[in-house]
Structure 1
């Protein structure tokens, strides 16, 4: 029986989406779904949701729950990781402490000071997952949804005894559909190619029947002043290629958009946006828990997430093309070899096979390297126990460097290291 393990299953909204996708496939409907979470109450809620979805889709799945992670992974064919180490409490630290020093952040989960510290407290847990998988399911694939994607996938490739990992996101799926809507072309008619780094990738080709749709997009942007007040549109205007990540994310990977109130207002950015989103996630969990207890009906519709497509393709042999974050084994030659990059991948029974993009534009690669400098130093800090590399990562982060002095950056890093304490890799504590 096919076994799929959910790690961090207490993220019930996402568990609901992915389970709906998986069990809607006839070939996957009788899978063994093993749910793991360290929070017993959230695990019970995840189980109730899983049993409800399974009941709606035929009731053929086997569902088990596990507080012990290795037990949940034993014999798995796939593991889906969606943990958030430290939850809302740590998110508040990631925002509140930098804000004291004058550093603006919007999401704080991928790069910047927030992304660095989210990575540092997640890497030890992720490497523990890798140790478990190497021991009890060495041939299984780990499908990682946890951010910061590029940092975590690089850390796993370098630090885990288990190597079969692909990072998954929905940026490219949503962006290409939004672009099709802007240029008024049915998405089904669009051909596209994207590549780069997760949350800083770009749409390199955007066509319909051989027609380049970028000139049409340029005209739409020129005609719409409101479109011009988006960070990602400004990046498109300056770089010539449309970025795959939202304006809220993109703004904090760069030194140009959060540096003063006028820019924040012009590009309609919400400082501290993720604090509200994090609270909304807590509220949504409580709503779902109450709804399950009262017999509420929930919507089940196919999402744009890649996890079910990957599992279906490997299980049935019916190929799929997805976009995944993988180690850069010459895929984007102008980016560092040990970095994690986002490229198109073919998936079938043989696994995930990334596609090289050798003609990636030089100026996009140059921008990505400013992102990957921070990622690499964060990985070095975690794997080598180097506190100085935590500071180096923050010093070289574009948004932090654009807002704070070196003394401010050092003081902020010291305060965050002390605040996160035992959640950090052992060598970074104290």
Structure 2
């Protein structure tokens, strides 16, 4: 009997195509059943059409189904991938817009900071619903492969409260490895590394080129002389100099997890680069996502035509999901970096938190390398985020407004900018604005609305220190064609 693989949030059409194409590069998985599900029938229909085109163009025995009824899609599934974005771009816009009124300027806002914490409040109830359905209708022992952010909060909730074997997956480690190899001017297959930490704050604690260890000074010199990275990665280079390790996370991401680089508007431009959204632009990923949605809707026929091309196993991506499934089903080992419960994997982070660290997968399951330690500075920044994540996850499960506010208050960037009164009012405003996606706060939101009506904290109408307008479809198409010509169009860095 063929394995059934379900994808929740399959309406993320481009990413779904990538994941399915990777799976179909594995001969033993080509007779799989791919079950797609999404709450948007329109997006789901596009995803189904593209996946069926891939299957048909390659003459594969793969079967495909698409259903807005999630439970039907999950029936008998051995693997479930979660790619959902709860609240879509409408809710996400509030994650960026409302904190700006209180002076909090985010580039992405999907992990911690005010936006990421609220994103978690929307996601956790849905994650627990997914887990309930997996327990009830999927194959016994089914695994959840979570791609949705906020990674640590979602994975933590699924394991502690969802009762499902869950692995969190991100591609930040792979992207950083490619960048380091480019900066050093060495082939990627000659560069070995160990990464550990927490998602979006993972650190290359050991780098070796053909067995020779790369130290901090050599890496700093490589990045500072690079004609592009030297201007695009100012935060990462500064952190490398001070902490001794390079962060997996992009300049824009890293800048919003720390309290030092975005707290004064007049200094933000010193640390960011506007050549692409990921380098620190205000609301950069929101703009990128909005443009991508508009472009995809308009250029869908072109994407469908691309789906007719033969699958090339040599171009299989390094997204973890297909490699994990291959290892579990065939026994061929796979080494990667995965988000799991710590339990001694990283010795100087709490045992209960979610870490992203080195592990191996084979037919016997996921086996993590234990006993790794972070440099003290790296551990300190991770610990600050872990405390925020723990409070945010617990608040999302219980609907505890006071704990939610404490999690935002303790966020490193928010705490560097906002007073307690500002945090309390900002959270009330976000709760009221996002009420439809926050069932766990249904009883608490009327009181938040009342407090907000009597609020005395002054806010401002501010677009941020480095905001760019959303481009038209034609402008995006032209820019994309230009980047493709220059050979710089690649994977989006980990978000």
TM-score class normalised by the smaller sequence: over 0.9
Rounded Cα–Cα distance in structure 2 between residues aligned with 1:205 and 1:282: 38
Indicate which of 349, 368, 377 corresponds to 2:391: 377
Indicate which of 413, 419, 444 corresponds to 1:405: 419
Rounded Cα–Cα distance in structure 2 between residues aligned with 1:314 and 1:408: 49
Pairing of 1:150-299 with structure 2 (within 5 A): 150-162=152-164, 164-214=165-215, 215-223=217-225, 227-229=229-231, 230-268=234-272, 269-291=280-302
Rounded Cα–Cα distance in structure 1 between residues aligned with 2:339 and 2:439: 23
Secondary structure in structure 2 of the residue aligned to 1:67: coil
Instruction: Summarize deviations over 1:245-287 as a string: whole Å, max 9, x none.
Output: 1011111011111122342211223111122112023124314
Secondary structure in structure 2 of the residue aligned to 1:196: strand
Pairing of 1:89-168 with structure 2 (within 5 A): 89-137=90-138, 138-162=140-164, 164-168=165-169
Secondary structure in structure 1 of the residue aligned to 2:239: helix
Question: Is the alpha carbon distance of 1:228 and 1:238 closer, same or farther for their aligned partners in structure 2, counting shifts above 3 Å?
Answer: farther
Question: Is the alpha carbon distance of 1:291 and 1:222 closer, same or farther for their aligned partners in structure 2, counting shifts above 3 Å?
Answer: closer
Residue 239 (structure 1) shift: 0.4
Instruction: Summarize deviations over 1:157-183 as a string: whole Å, max 9, x none.
Output: 111122x11000101111011101101
- Can you give the 5+ residue segments of structure 1 that lack an aligned partner in the other structure? none
Rounded Cα–Cα distance in structure 1 between residues aligned with 2:35 and 2:266: 50
Residue 222 (structure 1) shift: 4.5
What is the number of residues matched between the two proteins? 429
Rounded Cα–Cα distance in structure 2 between residues aligned with 1:293 and 1:319: 34
User: How much is the aligned-residue C-alpha RMSD, in angstroms?
Assistant: 1.8
TM-score (norm 2): 0.83
Rounded Cα–Cα distance in structure 1 between residues aligned with 2:238 and 2:31: 47
Secondary structure in structure 2 of the residue aligned to 1:173: helix
Secondary structure in structure 1 of the residue aligned to 2:84: coil
Rounded Cα–Cα distance in structure 2 between residues aligned with 1:225 and 1:263: 23
Secondary structure in structure 2 of the residue aligned to 1:342: strand
Is this contact kept in 1: 2:193–2:207, CA < 8 A?
A: yes
Question: Is the alpha carbon distance of 1:267 and 1:70 closer, same or farther for their aligned partners in structure 2, counting shifts above 3 Å?
Answer: same
Rounded Cα–Cα distance in structure 1 between residues aligned with 2:307 and 2:244: 48
Rounded Cα–Cα distance in structure 1 between residues aligned with 2:74 and 2:239: 42
Say which is worse superposed, 291-300 or 217-226, in terms of deviation: 291-300
Is this contact kept in 1: 2:9–2:85, CA < 8 A?
A: yes
Secondary structure in structure 2 of the residue aligned to 1:352: strand
Residue 212 (structure 1) shift: 1.4
Say which is worse superposed, 266-275 or 315-324, in terms of deviation: 266-275
- Can you give the 5+ residue segments of structure 2 that lack an aligned partner in the other structure? 273-279, 446-495
Pairing of 1:336-351 with structure 2 (within 5 A): 336-351=350-365
Rounded Cα–Cα distance in structure 1 between residues aligned with 2:108 and 2:242: 23
Rounded Cα–Cα distance in structure 1 between residues aligned with 2:253 and 2:309: 29
Residue 224 (structure 1) shift: 5.2
Rounded Cα–Cα distance in structure 1 between residues aligned with 2:309 and 2:286: 26
Give 1:32's aligned residue. Answer: 33
